[in-house]
Structure 1
Amino acid sequence: MTTLPYADADSSLRALAGRAEGFGRFSVGGVHGPVRYVTNLADDGPGSLRDACRRKEPLWICFTVSGTIHLSSYLNVSSYKTIDGRGQRIKFTGKGLRLKDCEHIIICNLEFEGGRGHDIDGIQIKPNSKHIWIDRCSLRDYDDGLIDITRQSTDITVSRCHFAQHDKTMLIGADPTHVGDRCIRVTIHHCFFDGTRQRHPRVRFGKVHLYNNYTRNWGIYAICASVESQIYSQCNIYEAGQKKKAFEYYTEKAADKEEARSGLIRSEGDWFLNGAQGFLPPGASEEYMFHPSEFYPVWTLEPSSDSLKAVLQICTGWQSVPLPAEEGGGCLPPA
């Protein structure tokens, strides 16, 4: 039987706060602020999401409308915000969300599709942002990345998301010159990488815990360890299409080092299907690799199985779930 995490996360409106598994577990979003409703699909102005996200006070942001918000520029999200798409169906197109110099952000149950322009990501997290949880989002077809985590942003969890129709899916760590990215720590779990080409993720410098994800039919590789990165891959399902190499290693030279090196991948309980190859480089088992238990005590983990694979195809990405009431019988959206 498959046991998914967050069984009671929808029991009340703010039950999400501080409940992420993994490195993003301290994110409380806007739990200490009032509920603010987005009442239209405009890019800016009164009642818009952009207007709510720029405000400095904590806010739990919900929607009274469904539809597409076409962003003409990145939508900057300030600290202590929850963008809660439950109860509606909100899709972003044009540009994406930018989490810049902020902390305590929860992004839940939204869709991102059709982002256009140079360096346009679905969700761009940089610089110096922390305590972030991205949950149950569907992301596809952006000109750059779907989620990029760079420039000393850390303590982030990505869970139950569906990635499709894309090339460079998720980049963690900007480039070899940004040695400050050694602080990056990210957990990715119960996600479905559905035929996306590469970067599930590609990592430089950071520590990344992957567990109970399903990655299939990639175009180059599934995950990639670049300079100094440590990727702990635990009970994931890697199902190859035409390309069989699940693990890739790119050698790069950190700006403050003399010798170029790649990263490390530790595979524990992973499934390799349809000829998928999860080779580890010689001597990798002798090098230091972090263990998630050094940073957090528990996480919802089960062995890779056919039932897990089936569930992840259904229960990832945007979900048709109602907006929960406030605990204690608080008000739902105004009529």
Structure 2
Amino acid sequence: MGIRSFMNWVFLAGFLCAHAHVGATKLGNSSAVEEDADSVAEMVQRSIESKKRELGYLSCGTGNPIDDCWRCDPNWERNRKRLADCGVGFGRNAVGGKNGRFYVVTSSGDDPVNPPPGTLRHAVIQTEPLWIIFKTSMFIHLKEELIMNSFKTIDGRGANVHIAYGPCITIQYVTNIIIHGVHVHDCKPGGNAMVRSSPTHYGWRTRSDGDAVSIFGGSHIWVDHCSLWNCADGLIDAVIGSTAITISNNHFAHHNEVMLLGHSDSYTQDSTMQVTIAFNHFGAGLVQRMPRCRHGYFHVVNNDYTHWEMYAIGGSANPTINSQGNRYLAPANPFAKEVTKHENCNGNECQGWNWRSEGDLMLNGAFFTSSGAGASASYAKASSLGARPSSMVGPLTGNAGVLHCRARARC
């Protein structure tokens, strides 16, 4: 994920998420794609419910502090904003649209310059705090990047919402964003077009990378219970001084470069980056970057890694990586058993990087190459998230990805 051209800086001067990918065939016309998307949504939902029945987990009392904070409430629909009080880790203070009104998305349509009221784009560009919900299930095919404004929550609970087959979500130089309960997949590059970023400003966007969620200079960001797969670039990338981020309870599948955290080895401003990655399921068809880190501090806690083809966690430019209570299941490939990959360093330099594994469960020959003196007590305390034993990873991550929530019932 590279620095966007100077034109994007000018553009922004006008305003201060266990689901296997179904492998839907991409058809040449929009009606066929929408029909195919409906089939994908139905098959994904059946897969979710089947997995939950197999695991036999309750909707609460799992030890997952996020879920146990709100999912036991049968009146969750009336108390949606309670979610904003349930964050953990570095992104725990992201309030999203908690202090604003509800905005109901009624249409799946998209106009990048003049978005009609009732569309997702019209909602996210508003300057006021908004808690955005969906009237019904929908498939949203964006024509250009969805440029979000600060203090917004996208809350897909109670509906089956897919954002796919076009450019997807961009969180650029804004703060206090919560994205919860949406499928984001098959995202493609966009740009070289006009896109609106606020009610009073639109401007020229150069080509985007095709990320599912792109965080660029953003802070206080929380991505929770989303299902993400098969995009042109990253599933979640955070660069250019982004910080105070939590990525939790998501299901990742069928993708190569899953997550990039840190812009480049030379961009030392990313040394302030702090990211918590917790309770996620890294599933079928993943290759690498779960995540790939630079410069900052990364707390990787109680995640379930069941697939990687090259490595799970990598980094360069002396990042601190604190891996606690994860379950790492190595692939059959005898040359891909190592969880970690130290990149762009010689032996002595790599040995000084502060990477540690504490309480992780290593299966099928998996091994973690530690380095440095171990994460400092101050860094560990700063994450504000105590690791559960790795033996609990099953129930902690058993409902990762988009939940099936119904009104007047526990979610």
**Which TM bucket (shorter chain)?**
0.7 to 0.9
- Asked if the contact 1:132–1:156 (Cα under 8 Å) also holds between the matched residues in 2, the reply is yes
2:241 match: 152
Question: In the alignment, which residue of structure 2 is the partner of 1:322?
Answer: 406
Letter in 2 for 1:315: N
CA deviation string 1:10-38 (max 9, x = no partner): 44210111421100011111111100100
> Out of 273, 277, 295, which is 1:205 matched to?
295
Instruction: Name the residue aligned to 1:105.
Output: 177
Q: What is the aligned partner in structure 2 of residue 250 from structure 1?
A: 343
- What SS does the aligned partner of 1:275 have? coil
The corresponding residue for 2:86 is 19
Q: Does 2:382 align with 1:295?
A: yes
Match 1:268 to one of 354, 358, 382: 358
In structure 2, the CA distance between the partners of 1:296 and 1:208, relative to structure 1 (3 Å rule), is closer
User: In the alignment, residue 72 of structure 1 is paired with which amino acid?
Assistant: K
Q: 2:353 & 2:405 partners in 1: Cα distance?
A: 39
Shift of 1:289: 4.1
Deviations 1:160-185 (A, max 9, x none): 00000000000000111211111100
Contact 2:315/2:343, CA 8 A, preserved across alignment: yes
Out of 220, 245, 266, which is 1:177 matched to? 266
How far apart are the structure 1 equivalents of 2:375 and 2:231?
36
8 Å Cα contact 1:2/1:302 also seen in 2? no
Deviations 1:141-160 (A, max 9, x none): 00100000110010000110
RMSD over aligned Cα, in angstroms? 2.2
- Which range moved further: 151-160 or 216-225? 216-225
State how far apart, in whole Å, the 2-side matches of 1:59 and 1:310 are: 32
Give TM-score, length-normalised by structure 2.
0.72
| Residue of structure 1 aligned with 2:390, choices 288, 304, 329 | 304
Structure 2 counterpart of 1:331: none
Which residue of structure 2 lines up, in the alignment, with residue 330 of structure 1?
A: none
| Aligned-partner SS, 1:15 | helix
Is 1:186 matched with 2:246?
Answer: no
Residue aligned with 1:112, SS: strand
The answer to whether structure 1 residue 28 and structure 2 residue 95 are counterparts is yes
2:65 is aligned with 1:5: yes
Structure 1 gap segments, 5+ residues each: 254-258, 326-335
Cross-structure match for 2:43 = none
Say which one has the larger Rg: 2
Cα distance in 2 for partners of 1:275, 1:69 equals: 42
Question: Which residue of structure 2 lines up, in the alignment, with residue 95 of structure 1?
Answer: 167
Query: How many residue pairs were aligned?
Result: 313
State the distance in 1 between where 2:96 and 2:406 align: 19
- The CA distance in 2 between the partners of 1:268 and 1:288, in whole Å, is 10
TM-score with structure 1 setting the length: 0.88
Task: Please give the per-residue CA displacement for 1:55-75, whole angstroms capped at 9, x wherever unaligned.
Answer: 000000000021210112110
- Partner letter of residue 303 of structure 1? P
Residue aligned with 2:123, SS: helix
Corresponding residue SS for 1:266: strand
Matched residue type, 1:226: S
Matched position secondary structure for 1:17: helix
1:38 aligns with 2:120: no
Which of 157, 180, 186 is residue 114 of structure 1 equivalent to? 186
Query: Among 51, 55, 58, which residue is 2:122 paired with?
Result: 51
1:202-240 per-residue CA deviation (whole Å, 9 max, x = no partner) reads: 000010101100112201101012112001000001101
Please state how far the C-alpha of 1:96 moved relative to its aligned partner: 1.1
Give CA deviations for 1:86-121 in whole Å, capped at 9, x if unaligned.
Answer: 000111111110001111111000101111236110
- What residue identity is the alignment partner of 1:209? H
Q: 1: CA distance between counterparts of 2:214 and 2:146?
A: 10
CA gap of 1:80–1:22, structure 2 versus 1, over 3 A, is same
Aligned to 1:328: none
Greater per-residue helix proportion: 2
Shift of 1:277: 1.6
- Distance of aligned partners of 1:23 and 1:104 in 2 relative to their CA distance in 1, 3 Å threshold: same
Identity within the alignment, %:
35
CA contact (8 A) 2:62 2:395 kept: no
- For the residues of structure 1 that align with 2:232 and 2:299, how far apart are their CA atoms? 26
Residue of structure 2 equivalent to 1:217: 307
Deviation at 1:290, TM superposition (A): 5.9
Q: Distance in 1 between matches of 2:390 and 2:408?
A: 31
Range 174-183 or range 54-63, more displaced: 174-183
After TM superposition, the structure 1 = structure 2 runs for residues 131-150 of structure 1, keeping only pairs within 5 Å, are 131-150=220-239
